[in-house]
Amino acid sequence: MKAKLTSLLLLFPLVCSSQTPDGKEILKRMDANLTSDSRVFTSKMIIHGRRSSRTVESKTWSIGDRKAFTEYLSPPREAGTKMLKLEDALWIYSPSTDRTIQIAGHMLKQSIMGSDLSYEDMMEDPTLADQYEATVTGTEEVNGRPCWVLQLKAVKEDVTYASRKVWVDRERYIPLREELYAKSGTLLKKTELFDVKRIDGRWFPGKIVFKDMLKQGDGTEFIIESIEFNADIPEHLFTKAALR
């Protein structure tokens, strides 16, 4: 009897870890990894088009999910193009026309620099826990990592994707694969996250591959070359004057 009790006590932590956590809890832990008060990062977007691939480099400064400023660094045709996101508004500055134009309405559905990402994706609130109701539907392995499979259903009307299916790493609480669906149930986009690293105490992907399912081509690789979390960013960067 004593031996049985001892073995039960020894196995207790294992029993607990194998229990399925609440969907909301997974989302919160996932958001904690992916969101931050502020960050500055340089990235490379390799766009695999239908006939050729091209690379677009940019630097982004962001505060929470409400303010973001991006400057495109290369190729020469795109260099100097700047984007400013303030709350629900987005402006783009093109140096060739010296015009600042607000991107609104159906223009938000346009692709960013021909990639598989749309301006709407950029405008999206990255905090999933506030916008979706999550249900854990099972476990699967993605790229050799055990994952929770989460079915996300939007609780708000104005979200870009009505539902999502997310494969979340069971140990690191980082999504490794995601499928984004329209209200009709049509699969709109697929993303896969690679090269997950520990940066400043959080798990963060080094590369994300986006695939717009309604677009031909081999997807877009979004490679984060450097990232700094909770950096000091001057407030004047998030003004329209900074675009010119």
Q: Which residues form the interface with another protein (CB under 8 A)?
A: 47, 49-51, 54, 56, 77-78, 92, 94, 96-102, 107, 110-115
Closer of 18 and 216 to another protein (Cβ): 216
Q: How far is the CB of 56 from another protein (least distance, A)?
A: 8
CB under 8 Å to 180, separation ≥6 — which residues? 160, 161, 164, 187, 188, 189, 190, 191
Closer of 19 and 96 to another protein (Cβ): 96
Q: How far is the CB of 227 from another protein (least distance, A)?
A: 24
With beta carbons less than 8 A apart as the criterion, state whether 215 and 111 touch: yes
With beta carbons less than 8 A apart as the criterion, state whether 42 and 56 touch: no
SS3 49: coil
Q: How far is the CB of 99 from another protein (least distance, A)?
A: 5
Q: How far is the CB of 76 from another protein (least distance, A)?
A: 11
SS3 122: helix
With beta carbons less than 8 A apart as the criterion, state whether 139 and 123 touch: no
Closer of 102 and 135 to another protein (Cβ): 102
Closer of 56 and 166 to another protein (Cβ): 56
